[in-house]
Each structure stands twice: as structure tokens, then as C-alpha cells.
């Protein structure tokens, strides 16, 4: 096992990884920008190293700064967390070339899933259902028009190098398709330096359901069930739940087994997530995330597994040590993302935290790195806490969530807590009756 792990991240996820390492007897190295000198992830680490100025590109995204920090601290391995360098294949390659272990997938799988056309082709061959579409890059408008008319409109044009909703264009009919393709190509070229695009049939009212998988280096793969991440605004998730209110046990086992089998065929290793759109009882692959995800705790709450510990064990060469039948699902979990932002306008609200009191009690977990007196810097993501609640069933989970939100005190800045409280009394939400567009209608402000 590793003796020392460098955590190339900040905030709650840096603490989350530290906690797993500490339980495993592994020392931790924090890295931080000058804006994060007083951050909790720095205070709680065994060692810390300043890696640059506030701008992420000069600190948390600086490969040389992080590799130097790993060398100086004599770390054995690097955990990238989520965001930042977590899905950067060349970073993962360089980590290994410099003699450290990358706690994550093989670089080839990060690359594969970063190329959305190649990813779709690979998972399709491995037995995962995909959305009907151009089956590869669009290079001829006339061919595209023929294929699209066969599929039926609307179609959604996506960038091969995109993902997470960036660079998509909708075409409602044949006369809109040429412009949608040209605009998507232009925007993709500007944003990613790669203008390649493909298109798919547009699903109008799907849910976003993702399957968590764990795979070791010996071909053992398990799925840990699904998370329903449909409640989002502008591709920013607000609340996630597991299991999905839309699936029954049979459907869950079927799609879980398909996802796990595909991951095994591809030879993937580490934690990973297969994202699907789910509409009219059918699953359609959209992307695979080759990282630890923000919402991983809800899966931990219903399975009792520590996903970060599993990632570390797998990276150290350990076998999973359990099979699919050993994974037991219990109860229901919901995560509320608490952002430092105005609950009505979503404008960021950085600043100093005044009084702080986190909820607790049975079934309540708070993953956060904030404290009373902490100054939320303006330079990074606005998520400052995750409130994760577990209950024997969805109803108990909702009751517990309502009382936890009422207990939560974060003074001095605006947060999304009032928005979550409003959500808790919405009939559609309470009934689990929502799709990926529901939240945007609920909060209004659509553009």
C-alpha cells in the first residue's frame, strides 16, 4: 500500500480523499494556491505545498507544479479528485512517467472516453445501447441530411471533444441542420481546437441516470447501482438521488449488469460512471466519466462502500475482493449541493462565512471544507458543501432532508439552502416526477 498520497485538488473533495487515506494509514500531502492558504484541506493534511497563484491554470491545473510537489514531498501516488486534472490523459501519463501512481484509470481509457465518438463506438461494441445518430463524425452535409431524415428530427449536434453539454446545437428540421452543424463545428474548433462534430436523435424529456462502477486490475467489475441526476440547471447538478425514483429492481439489475459487462470488455480499471439518458423505459449511453464524481456519496450511503478507499486500493494493485452479489443496496440517499450563490439568481456569492452550524444526527452526512470565519474565494467553483442524507426509504430520506436543511446555518453569504427547501415541498419532486428540464422550468430565468 502507498505510504503517502498527494491530493491534487481543494475543498471538500480534498478532505474526502484525506479522510479515506487517513483511515488506511496513508499520509497525505495537500497542494494549494495562495488563495487557499487558510483552507481546511491545507490545515488537515499531514503536509502542504503552495503550488502557485489563485488562478487555477497557474496552480491546480499546473502539471509541473503538481509533479514538483509530489517529488519534493516524496509521495507515492496522486489522487486528482474531480474537475481540474482528473480527466487529463496527458497528466495521468506524466504522473506515471515520473514514477508516481495515478489513482484513477489508465490514460488510454481517459483518452478514449474524452473522445465522444470513439467512446460511443467502444461502448456500443461492448453491448451498451446508444442514441441513434450519425455513427461517427459529420463530414458531408448531404450525407448528414440523409442520415438525419432516416432518424427523424429533432437531432442534436455535439462536439467530439465536448462533453458536459458544451458545444451542442439543436436542429428541429432539415433546414436547420446545415447551420447547426456549421455553428457546432465553429464553436468546437474555438473551444477545443477540434471542430469534429456528430449528431444524435434528440431525446425531448429524458432523465439523467448514471451507473457507478468499480473495476480492479484483474477483470473484476461490479456496479453500485444508479444515481438520478436529472435535477440540474445549465448542466450544473443541484440534487442527486439513489436509487432513481424511475427504476424498478429488474431494470436496475439489467442496466447495471450491461454497464459492468461493458466496462469489463473495455478493460477499464478504477471507479467510473456510465451516463445514460432514460426515456420511455429505454437507456441510451451519452458519456462515460473516468473520475470520482461529486455525487459519489449517495452511492456510498446505499451500499456502505467507501468509493475513494476502493480507488486507492485498486490503484495499489489490490483486487476488489467481492462480487456483484456481495454488493447490497439499502435504503435511499439524496445529496443537496450547497453553493455560495444567490438562490434566486444563481449569481456567485463569495465572501466570509459568519456563524456556521452543520446538521447532524442519524443518517446525515456533510462533506464540506468550510468553517466559521472561512473566506470563500471567488476564483473557484461555488460549491461549498454537500448535504447527504440517508433513510430507510425515499420518504424517510425526504423527512430527514427537510429537518437537516432547517438545521443548517451558513451566515454571511448567500447559499442554495433556501432553494433546496423550496424544492422539498414541490409535488413533482416529492413524487419523484421530474426530467432533465424540470428544474429549469421550476426556477424560471430560462434563456
Among 8, 94, 103, 156, interactor with ligand MV4 by CB under 6 A: 156
Query: Least CB distance from residue 89 to ligand MV4, whole Å?
Result: 19
Measure the CA–CA gap between 406 and 416, rounded to whole angstroms: 13
CB of 48 or CB of 290, closer to ligand MV4: 290
Residue 208 interacts with ligand MV4 (CB under 6 A)? yes
Measure the CA–CA gap between 72 and 247, rounded to whole angstroms: 49
Residue 207 interacts with ligand MV4 (CB under 6 A)? no
Among 88, 101, 220, 232, interactor with ligand MV4 by CB under 6 A: 232
Query: Least CB distance from residue 286 to ligand MV4, whole Å?
Result: 5
Among 165, 219, 354, 378, interactor with ligand MV4 by CB under 6 A: 165
Residue 131 interacts with ligand MV4 (CB under 6 A)? yes
CB of 155 or CB of 260, closer to ligand MV4: 155
Q: Is 19 an active-site residue?
A: no
Residue 216 interacts with ligand MV4 (CB under 6 A)? no
Measure the CA–CA gap between 326 and 348, rounded to whole angstroms: 43
C-alpha grid cell for residue 373?
470565519
Binding segment (CB under 6 A) for ligand MV4, from list 54-62, 83-91, 197-205, 256-264: 197-205
Q: Are strands 169-171 and 155-159 parallel, antiparallel or unpaired?
A: antiparallel
Given 10, 252, 269, 291, which residue is catalytic? 291
Residue 287 interacts with ligand MV4 (CB under 6 A)? yes
Measure the CA–CA gap between 188 and 160, rounded to whole angstroms: 8
Residue 203 interacts with ligand MV4 (CB under 6 A)? yes
Residues in the chain: 447
Count of positions on this chain that bind ligand MV4 (CB under 6 A) = 16
Binding segment (CB under 6 A) for ligand MV4, from list 51-59, 179-187, 199-207, 218-226: 199-207
CB of 8 or CB of 274, closer to ligand MV4: 274
Binding segment (CB under 6 A) for ligand MV4, from list 162-170, 182-190, 259-267, 401-409: 162-170
CB of 287 or CB of 310, closer to ligand MV4: 287
Among 14, 117, 286, 353, interactor with ligand MV4 by CB under 6 A: 286
Among 159, 188, 436, 439, interactor with ligand MV4 by CB under 6 A: 436
Residues designated as active site: 291
Binding residues (CB under 6 A) for ligand MV4: these are 131, 156, 163-165, 200-203, 208, 232, 235, 277, 286-287, 436
Amino acid at each position: 500500500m502507498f505510504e503517502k498520497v498527494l491530493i491534487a485538488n481543494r475543498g471538500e473533495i480534498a478532505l474526502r480523499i484525506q479522510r479515506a487515506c487517513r483511515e488506511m494509514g496513508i499520509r497525505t500531502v495537500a497542494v494549494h494556491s495562495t488563495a487557499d492558504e487558510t483552507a481546511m484541506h491545507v490545515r488537515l493534511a499531514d503536509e502542504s505545498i503552495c503550488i502557485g497563484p489563485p488562478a487555477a491554470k497557474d496552480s491546480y491545473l499546473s502539471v509541473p507544479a503538481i509533479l514538483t510537489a509530489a517529488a519534493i514531498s516524496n509521495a507515492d501516488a496522486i489522487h486528482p479528485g474531480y474537475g481540474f486534472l482528473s480527466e487529463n490523459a496527458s497528466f495521468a501519463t506524466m504522473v506515471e512517467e515520473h514514477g508516481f501512481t495515478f489513482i484513477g484509470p489508465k490514460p488510454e481509457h481517459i483518452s478514449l472516453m474524452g473522445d465522444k465518438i470513439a467512446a460511443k463506438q467502444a461502448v456500443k461494441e461492448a453491448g451498451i445501447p446508444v442514441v441513434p445518430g450519425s455513427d461517427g463524425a459529420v463530414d458531408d452535409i448531404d450525407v448528414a441530411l440523409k442520415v438525419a431524415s432516416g432518424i427523424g428530427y429533432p437531432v442534436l449536434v455535439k462536439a467530439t471533444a465536448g462533453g458536459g453539454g458544451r458545444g451542442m446545437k439543436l436542429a428541429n428540421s432539415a433546414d436547420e441542420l446545415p447551420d447547426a452543424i456549421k455553428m457546432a463545428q465553429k464553436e468546437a474548433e474555438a473551444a477545443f481546437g477540434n471542430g469534429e462534430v456528430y449528431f444524435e436523435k434528440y431525446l425531448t424529456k429524458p432523465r439523467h441516470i448514471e451507473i457507478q462502477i468499480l473495476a480492479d486490475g484483474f477483470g473484476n467489475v461490479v456496479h453500485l447501482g444508479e444515481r438520478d441526476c436529472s435535477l440540474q440547471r445549465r448542466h450544473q447538478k443541484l440534487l442527486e438521488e439513489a436509487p432513481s425514483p424511475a427504476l424498478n429492481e429488474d431494470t436496475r439489475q439489467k442496466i447495471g449488469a450491461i454497464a459492468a459487462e461493458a466496462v469489463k470488455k473495455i478493460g477499464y480499471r478504477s471507479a467510473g460512471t456510465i451516463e445514460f439518458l432514460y426515456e420511455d423505459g429505454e437507456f441510451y449511453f451519452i458519456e462515460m466519466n473516468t473520475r470520482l464524481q461529486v455525487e459519489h456519496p449517495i452511492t456510498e450511503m446505499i451500499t456502505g462502500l467507501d468509493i475513494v478507499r476502493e480507488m486507492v486500493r485498486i490503484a495499489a494493485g489490490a483486487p476488489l475482493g467481492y462480487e456483484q452479489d456481495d454488493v447490497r443496496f439499502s435504503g435511499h440517499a439524496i445529496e443537496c449541493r450547497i453553493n455560495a450563490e444567490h438562490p434566486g439568481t444563481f449569481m456567485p456569492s463569495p465572501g466570509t462565512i459568519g456563524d456556521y452550524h452543520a446538521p447532524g444526527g442519524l443518517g446525515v452526512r456533510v462533506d464540506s471544507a468550510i468553517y466559521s470565519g472561512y473566506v470563500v474565494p471567488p476564483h473557484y467553483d461555488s460549491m461549498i458543501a454537500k448535504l447527504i442524507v440517508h433513510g430507510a426509504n425515499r420518504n424517510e430520506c425526504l423527512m430527514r432532508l427537510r429537518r437537516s436543511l432547517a438545521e443548517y446555518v451558513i451566515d454571511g453569504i448567500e447559499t442554495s439552502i433556501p432553494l433546496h427547501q423550496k424544492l422539498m415541498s414541490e409535488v413533482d419532486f416529492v413524487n419523484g416526477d421530474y426530467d432533465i428540464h424540470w428544474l429549469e422550468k421550476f426556477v424560471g430565468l430560462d434563456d
